[in-house]
Amino acid sequence: MKKWLQLALKYLFRLILVIFVIIGVSMLGCSLPSLQGRSVSKSLSVEEINLTYLGQSVGSEQKRHPDLAGIYLLPDPRLAFAARTILAQDAEKTLDIQYYIWKKDTTGMLLLHALYEAADRGVKVRLLLDDNGTNGLDTELMALNAHPNIEVRLFNPFLFRPFKQVGFLTDFMRSNRRMHNKSFIADNSISVLGGRNVGDEYFGATDGVLFADLDNLVSGDLVQMVSKSFDEYWDSQSAYPIDLIVEPITQAEHDLVLVSLLQAQASPEAVRYIQAKEELGDLDEILKNQTLWHWVPTQFVVDPASKGLGIYDKEELILHSIAKTLGEPEHSLDIVSPYFVPTNSGTDYFVNLARQGKQVRILTNSMVATDVLAVHSGYAKHRKRLVENGVLLYEMKPEIGSKNINNVGFLGSSGSSLHAKTFSADMNRVFIGSFNFDPRSAKLNTEMGIVSDDAQLARDLDDIFKAEVPQSAWLVVKNPDADKLEWHDGKTGEILHQEPLSKWYQRWVVTVLGWLPIDWLL
């Protein structure tokens, strides 16, 4: 009966896809505008960088650490927000900003205000956002775009603004490709890179789901490579000036946006972020605090912008670059990935490593911690083979009932959902960036990150797996007496025999989705 139902669901899914394609073809009259005449701009040259305060400050440190990059970790969400506002405040020439999600909430509005203030000082601001993550922000972004020093572009935009999902019907193959990159570059000298989007849940300002995350300040010559990548995306055939996509706004709407940006500064929710900025100190203090900077050999890895249109060679993709720079693990491999869908080939890879006696540890979200059940379905089908072959597989717990969002570390708290994306090989080389270990990151979305020969950070990650992960996550184990999985709680010693804290309907949805041929979408 199960096989019959599974086969029926597969054919039903294919039928739905065919219907979507037919609907999409029937609506092809709505086409994207021409990019002819689009403005051209580039990041700062080396000569221009050297005329800025940031360029001079970073340049002096670069001279003391030739051929290395400066890495300053930002695991604390409030300080990660503060770092972005400080860069916006201290930039003199340019701010180049690229994000997958920018929300219309406290932190989102605070950062938009910071960009507007920078533009008022004469800073040229280029804001490139994936259009799937700009819901409800059309008016605000149009108001910013009206500033002579701000230009906003949307990556793979949707033409039907009231309900963007229609775009998946009319132009599925393009709309399904999203820009997942995240960078905040000031004067082509220093940048924030990592996994955080812009929104309250990423910066610890909500009592709902908190995405424990990790990103870092990066300084040195490497930043020029980040800026070069930004230029490529900015000039790509997927980046549309917002005024070609969104209807013009009235002067009254424009003025109302400016008022709302000012009001965001005075809101009670903004207080903790103003305090965080004071806590982190000014940029001069940050740059001079060399005890927190790791100057290490580092490579920037990024997908080509053409991946947003499905045009690329496999050797150009970030997965190839990560594998090449991390190298084949000789002793150990640690992976932290909130959306973990290894597929059959990935599972084979991890199993082979474990069978060779190499330690493989993986931390991902549990069913009740994830915010995408479909992704859990693509992961769950591979768990048994992983654990029965020696892979140590941990699933993040949510902290139920806690309202305290202060002092959140790498693993988060307060109903947290893991969102950090980092890999470590042989406790020596570390990746931090936007890449999830799933087919979507590998083949559909564009991604970016850095790979550093940072033994200290790798040891820190090892310490987390040894000390914190067993307390904050369930270890998935195969029952030796039955062909079933168990979840071991290292904190309480409790052994659970089904998905912890899950509801029957959640388990049912995951099971049914696991029967469908949708892994390539996850």
Instruction: Assign 477 to helix, strand or coil.
Output: strand
Among candidate residues 58, 68, 67, the one with its CA nearest the CA of residue 296: 68
Q: Clarify whether 421 is annotated catalytic.
A: yes
H helices of 340-424, where? 343-355, 373-380, 383-388
- Torsion, CA 30, CA 34, CA 35, CA 38, rounded to 10: -110
Given the residues 171, 200, 303, 426, select the one marked as catalytic.
426
Q: What's the pLDDT score for residue 8?
A: 62
Given the residues 187, 200, 215, 303, select the one marked as catalytic.
187
Confidence category of residue 414, pLDDT binned at 50, 70, 90: very low
Tokens describing residue 202: 């990423």
Does the pLDDT value for residue 459 go beyond 50?
yes
Does the pLDDT value for residue 399 go beyond 90?
no
Does the pLDDT value for residue 122 go beyond 90?
yes
Instruction: List residues bridging with 395 in a β-sheet.
Output: 364, 474
Q: What's the pLDDT score for residue 404?
A: 35
Q: Clarify whether 488 is annotated catalytic.
A: no
Given the residues 90, 358, 421, 438, select the one marked as catalytic.
421
For strands 239-241 and 429-433, give the pairing.
Answer: unpaired
Averaged pLDDT of the chain: 88
Q: Clarify whether 403 is annotated catalytic.
A: no
Q: What's the pLDDT score for residue 316?
A: 95
55-288: CATH topology is Endonuclease; Chain A (3.30.870)
Q: What's the pLDDT score for residue 369?
A: 87
CATH 3.30.470.30 assigned to domain 299-521? The reply is no
Per residue in 165-224, pLDDT (tens digit) is 888 888 899 999 999 999 999 999 999 999 999 999 898 866 555 557 889 999 999 999
Q: Clarify whether 200 is annotated catalytic.
A: no
Q: What's the pLDDT score for residue 511?
A: 86
Query: Average pLDDT for residues 383-393, to the nearest whole number?
Result: 96
- Torsion, CA 404, CA 409, CA 415, CA 417, rounded to 10: 160
C-beta separation of 376 from 367 below 8 A: yes
Q: Report d(CA 287, CA 217) in Å as an integer.
A: 10
Q: Clarify whether 187 is annotated catalytic.
A: yes
Q: Which of 8-22, 28-42, 157-171, 384-398 has the highest mean pLDDT?
A: 384-398
Q: Report d(CA 149, CA 463) in Å as an integer.
A: 46
Does the pLDDT value for residue 297 go beyond 80?
yes
Per residue in 68-114, pLDDT (tens digit) is 999 999 988 888 999 999 999 999 999 999 999 999 999 999 999 99
Confidence category of residue 383, pLDDT binned at 50, 70, 90: very high
Higher pLDDT, 502 or 403: 502
Given the residues 103, 180, 376, 397, select the one marked as catalytic.
180
What 3 state SS string does 1-54 have? CHHHHHHHHHHHHHHHHHHHHHHHHHCCCCCCCCCCCCCCCCCCCHHHHCCCHH
Query: Average pLDDT for residues 293-305, to the nearest whole number?
Result: 96
Q: Clarify whether 65 is annotated catalytic.
A: no
Per residue in 35-66, pLDDT (tens digit) is 999 999 999 999 999 999 999 999 988 999 99
H helices of 152-238, where? 167-170, 172-175, 222-234
Confidence category of residue 292, pLDDT binned at 50, 70, 90: confident
From residue 220, how far is each of 86, 192, 296, 480, 505 by CA, in Å? Answer: 18, 12, 11, 52, 51
Query: To the nearest whole percent, how much of the chain has pLDDT over 70?
Result: 89
Instruction: List residues bridging with 476 in a β-sheet.
Output: 393, 487
Higher pLDDT, 465 or 283: 465
C-beta separation of 289 from 64 below 8 A: no
C-beta separation of 394 from 362 below 8 A: yes
Q: What's the pLDDT score for residue 482?
A: 83
Q: What's the pLDDT score for residue 321?
A: 95
Domain range annotation of the chain:
55-288, 299-521
